[in-house]
Amino acid sequence: MALFSSDADPLGPFSGRRIERTLGELVLGVAALWLLAALPYPLSLTLAQTLGATLLYAILAGWLLHHWRQGALGWANRITLLRGILILLLTAALFTPDSFEARRFTWLGMATLALLLDGLDGWAARRQNCQSELGARFDMELDAFFILMLCLGLMIADIISAWVLLIGIMRYIFVLSGHVWPWLKAPLPENVRRKVICVWQIVALLLALLPFIPSGIALGLVSSALVALTVSFALDVRWLYRHAPSSLAGT
């Protein structure tokens, strides 16, 4: 998936024109978030939950404003932003366990929609020929947060104990480790295995959240996601170590 279009703003990355265009679309994102949160169906969020989702959105918007180097977002980016809004609303809904249990199917339906949008924004980016490394990074970080949110859902619903969070935090452990061992920050080559395992994690966690799935099957699904993710990270770390400059590999 590529988040960012390729038409650079001639006034520069920090121009008022660029910020005005991007900020206008991000403000519309806030309006969309509050509209979806205010609907009596499917999530029926409280004011506190809506404010929490808005705070998370402000962090997301700040990151986007800091890194954005063009003007208007473009359709691929708007779809990605909508997916982010859905994920933030779903995250806020988790913190009222009774409401979450009562609306589990609709919650899962929205989570499935967020997963489908991940494919739609990629299709839009390819159709508009606007792929970028920054867009790929944004997509990856949003997927990581989505996976962490699903892990929280499994723990809050008392389906899987706290060890499920290992799946959600592994990406963040890897990023933090890069500050200790700089060779971990090197770019990795494109790999289908990484994409397949990411999708499987989300699908496995969503299936495990279904109320009619037996606990043993849910445990097997989540365990398979953890094993696949661990193996994938191990392979990436090995590749990075083997291709690191000798001066860095020893640190």
Nearest to 153 by CA among 208, 199, 191: 208
Residue with tokens 């043993």: 216
Residue 205: predicted pLDDT:
96
List the single range of 95-104, 113-122, 186-195, 200-209 with lowest mean pLDDT: 95-104
Categorize the per-residue pLDDT at 144 as very low, low, confident or very high, splitting at 50, 70 and 90: very high
Q: Where do the domains of the chain lie?
A: 1-131, 159-251
**Residue 180 has which token pair?**
């200790």
Residue 118: predicted pLDDT:
83
Average pLDDT over residues 15-42: 76
Residue 2: predicted pLDDT:
37
Residue 155: predicted pLDDT:
93
Residue 122: predicted pLDDT:
72
Categorize the per-residue pLDDT at 131 as very low, low, confident or very high, splitting at 50, 70 and 90: low
Q: Are 205 and 167 in contact (CB under 8 A)?
A: yes
Average pLDDT over residues 77-106: 83
More reliable by pLDDT, 16 or 148: 148
Average pLDDT over residues 2-11: 38
Nearest to 81 by CA among 45, 121, 34: 121
**Tens digit of pLDDT for each residue in 38-57?**
887 777 788 888 999 999 99
Helix/strand/coil for 161: coil
Residue with tokens 């696949």: 228
List the single range of 3-12, 60-69, 70-79, 97-106 with lowest mean pLDDT: 3-12
Residue 10: predicted pLDDT:
40
Helix/strand/coil for 111: helix
Residue 45: predicted pLDDT:
85
Please write down the HEC assignment for all residues of 173-224: HHHHHHHHCHHHHCCCCCCHHHHHHHHHHHHHHHHHCCCCCCHHHHHHHHHH
Q: Give me the helix-helix angle, 16-38 and 75-93, nearest 10°.
A: 40
**Residue 153 has which token pair?**
């859902």
Residue 232: predicted pLDDT:
95
Helix ranges (DSSP H) in the chain: 16-38, 47-67, 75-93, 97-102, 104-128, 133-156, 165-180, 192-208, 215-242, 246-249
In a 10 Å sphere around its CB, with 0-12 CB exposed, 13-18 middle and 19+ buried, how is residue 236 labelled? middle
**Tens digit of pLDDT for each residue in 99-129?**
677 778 888 998 999 998 888 877 776 776 6
**Tens digit of pLDDT for each residue in 61-72?**
888 877 776 666
Categorize the per-residue pLDDT at 167 as very low, low, confident or very high, splitting at 50, 70 and 90: very high
Sequence length of the chain is 251
Nearest to 86 by CA among 118, 59, 134: 118
Q: Tell me how far apart the 2 most distant CA atoms of the chain are, in Å.
A: 59
Residue 104: predicted pLDDT:
83
| Paired residues of 8 in beta bridges | 70
